[in-house]
Amino acid sequence: MAIFEGAGVAIVTPMNEDLTVNYDKLREIIDFQIENGTDCIIICGTTGESSTLTHEEHLECIRVCVEHVKGRIPVIAGTGSNCTETAKYLSEEAARYGADGLLLVTPYYNKATQGGLIRHFGAVADAVDLPIVLYNVPSRTGCNILPETIAAMAAQHKNIVAVKEASGNISQVAKVARLTEGKIDIYSGNDDQIVPVLSLGGKGVISVLSNVAPRQTHEIVASYLAGDVQKSRELQLAALPLIDQLFCEVNPIPVKAAMNLMGFEVGPLRAPLTYMEPGHLEALKKEMIDYGLAVK
């Protein structure tokens, strides 16, 4: 059984102006997501600025999220690291806090071999009982999980159950689907490829777009799964101009700017990320308005 089907939001981490984590605002946007149809919360992923959170902040975000969601929808905790022992530690703590699943990114900078990936993910899988979603985003980590490697890990570890595929390579996604024969749930890691991944048997998306358009993103997946492929495709295509602007600078710079434009007051970003370029901000605002989002 899948951890979730539909649209999971890779939720931002709100900051106060002094760059401390704004936990009250986090609770507020969690409620906004649930009230607008989001099917799962993914906390402390890339969009949540996990790379600049301290371990204490990282774990507190997970604890606050699980506690506030109160079982209304699943919570998947981002607990990946380029250090295997750190990934094990964060994963064990997330399990203790009651997360429903874990999202483990490929080790960044180290550029592990495929054998190293098997050892890394296997060590975390052996340390916890929670279902694990592998996160393949080679453009950010410099490391690609090959389909054969995913299939091997799924065969070896019953709790490695899914992959967030953000390689952008649809041929690779198709090969994962063929080699794993339904043993691995596939989630699109790219908002512009939701329908293509669903067409290959995917279960949904782990989405940046959902931060600003949770209802619409949910509907892209729900329509497809209900058999209305035409509606799903139309919704996907209608969202593409906004999606392009949400990735015109490195994520999560644009999406936090977009949320601030909507009045959510999620605050600034931690260095080395910085404010959005003025020209890009204007283009983002235009596409938000054209898409029908309320901009203040």
Residue 108 has pLDDT above 90, yes or no: yes
Based on its alpha-carbon atoms, the radius of gyration of the chain, rounded to whole angstroms, reads 18
The mean per-residue pLDDT over the stretch 88-105 comes to 98
Identified catalytic residue from 164, 187, 256, 291: 164
Active site residue 135: yes
Query: Quick one: which of 184, 180, 209 has its CA closest to 194?
Result: 209
Contact 77, 102 (CB under 8 A): yes
Angle between helices 229-246 and 253-261 (to 10 degrees): 100
Structurally, what CATH architecture does the domain formed by 6-229 represent? Answer: Alpha-Beta Barrel (3.20)
Over range 234-246, report the average pLDDT: 98
Q: Dump pLDDT digits (tens) for 42-76.
A: 999 999 999 999 999 999 999 999 999 999 999 99
The predicted-structure confidence for 122-157, as pLDDT tens digits, reads as follows 999 999 999 999 999 999 999 999 999 999 999 999
- pLDDT tens digits, one per residue of 156-196: 999 999 999 999 999 999 999 999 999 999 999 999 999 99
**pLDDT higher than threshold 90 for residue 296:** no
* Cα–Cα distance, 126 to 37 (Å, whole number): 33
The residue from 135, 187, 224, 291 that is catalytic is 135
| pTM confidence score | 0.97
pLDDT of residue 98: 98
3-state secondary structure at position 164 = strand
Q: Which residue has the tokens 């054209």?
A: 290
pLDDT single digits (tens) 268-292: 999 999 999 999 999 999 999 999 9
Q: How many CB atoms lie within 10 A of CB 113?
A: 11
H or E segment and range at residue 214: helix 214-225
Q: How far apart are CA 295 and CA 263, in angstroms?
A: 7
Domain ranges for the chain? 6-229
